[in-house]
Amino acid sequence: MTIYSFWIFDRHCNCIYDREWTLLANPKSGTTNSKQNDDVSKLLYGIIFSLRSVTGKLSTDDTGRTNEISSISTGKFRIHTYCTATGLWFVLLTDFKPFNYNKVLQHIYSDIFVKYITNNYLSPYDFSENENEKRGQGTRKITNRHFMNNLESFLEPMISS
């Protein structure tokens, strides 16, 4: 299994965290919260948003349970998503080898994001502070040191193994 990049989107359609590994042999390589990835993050958001609306329409279950996307495969890579009820999307780009990435994303949410961002008075709980940042225009990112260090050390064994 190999992971290429990891993204978090908030409910205001903003990318609040991105991490891309460029050299898979070196887990320290790559970019974090890079301005260059802005366009990619918008395209990625658009793909998931469009496909979520398609799967929502094609839902065959009448019990009202939403039909969540578990993975999207393209010719070159696979996208795994984990969406929370509060509108946060955790997105992981990986290769084709199957592994329980949903559990990985769930762990990132419940044991890393909740622990170091939500339960942190000094970290904003909503990354859009004024109205004109709430329509996908925001540029604020997660810069919390503990969050970033813990995420790195958790994902490191998966980057190229």
Q: Which is nearer to other proteins, 1 or 148 (CB)?
A: 1
Strand partners, 79: 72, 93
CB of 106 to other proteins, least distance (A): 11
Could you list the residues that contact other proteins (CB under 8 A)? 2, 4-5, 20-24, 30, 40, 43-44, 46-47, 50-51, 53-55, 57-61, 65, 67-77, 93, 96-103
Residue 64 tokens read as 């009202």
CB of 96 to other proteins, least distance (A): 7
- Other CB atoms within 10 Å distance of the CB of residue 117: 21
CB of 68 to other proteins, least distance (A): 5
Q: Which is nearer to other proteins, 67 or 119 (CB)?
A: 67
Residue 89 tokens read as 């999307």
CB of 26 to other proteins, least distance (A): 11
Q: Which is nearer to other proteins, 126 or 152 (CB)?
A: 152
Q: Which is nearer to other proteins, 17 or 101 (CB)?
A: 101
Report the distance separating Cα 129 and Cα 78, nearest Å. 33
Q: Which is nearer to other proteins, 21 or 127 (CB)?
A: 21
Burial of 53 (0-12, 13-18, 19+ CB in 10 A): exposed
Report the distance separating Cα 46 and Cα 64, nearest Å. 24
Compute the chain's Rg from CA coordinates: 16
CB of 82 to other proteins, least distance (A): 12
Report the distance separating Cα 108 and Cα 45, nearest Å. 19
